[in-house]
Structure 1
Amino acid sequence: MFSAQLQIIRSISTSAARHGKKNFRKFQLFNKRGNRLFKQNMRENPQPDLLDKRGVRDIGYRVGNKFVTVPERIPELIVPDLTDFKLKPYVSYKAPDIKQDEFTAEDLFNSVYAKKIVEDFNNGNLNEDGSPKEPSDEERMTPEMAELKARQTGTDLFCSNE
């Protein structure tokens, strides 16, 4: 006796049948990844938009068959001289974590203005309204000037905490 068993298998296809394993035209072939015909076509008819530079930026541009170098596009690496440098480039995992609180407006006020205000109060250099008789450069600034100075490039790099 012949018994036929029907087994139902579910499968999911993510691409059409014509884009199967044998159709490589949909794949972009960069540099060394192409086959012999691809490389031969690129030699005869180069297409620069197909070449993958892998993150390397051009240092110039091409005019016809001539390449023009732009000096501003050449990267300049500034490396410090580390002779007689005592620190090593390794941080141990056993190093303790640094816990630092958020820098608030009160902390900013205390670090910039509080010392001068206390000195002026102790020396009697305040007017009746509480303003200083001899204001410092920071105290003379208007709010607009202070905001402009705070937004300048590098303002946080060259401040000294004394």
Structure 2
Amino acid sequence: MSSHIIKRLFTTSSVNLGKRNFRKFQIFNKRGSRQFKKQRITNPDPDVPVHKRGVRDIGHELNGKFVVIPEKIPKLIVPDLKDCKLLPYVSYRTPEITQTEFTPQDLFNVVYAPKIMKDFNEGKLDEYGNSIEPSQEEKLTAEEALNNARRTGSDIF
């Protein structure tokens, strides 16, 4: 007779012959089970961030309540295109347009140079080269000019 003892193994884990039960692993957002999603709603875990897929919040949570900030709600400004003659199609035969880089010197020549030339030709400059009759833009302080540049609708962006 052989001295082998036959044993029957019993295990309580979910592993069975190399196959794994992935339901016990709780994963985030779309891939989680219903139980996991309900648990996240009732008791959110701060260590596991919710992936919002690029959508920004329009407020914040304060004392357990969500506070909406009106400034964070995006507003789409769409022009009225009823009388527009342009079409959405651009032909492939359109010649390619090349343009040189727009430098600070070009900006100065377009915006400030005509006024300076006009004041110089008319003798409206003082001994320091400042205009005797400054325009509204020339009267602005550096802080006011910066605030105007950052205002909605400016071309700084």
TM-score by length of 2: 0.49
TM-score by length of 1: 0.48
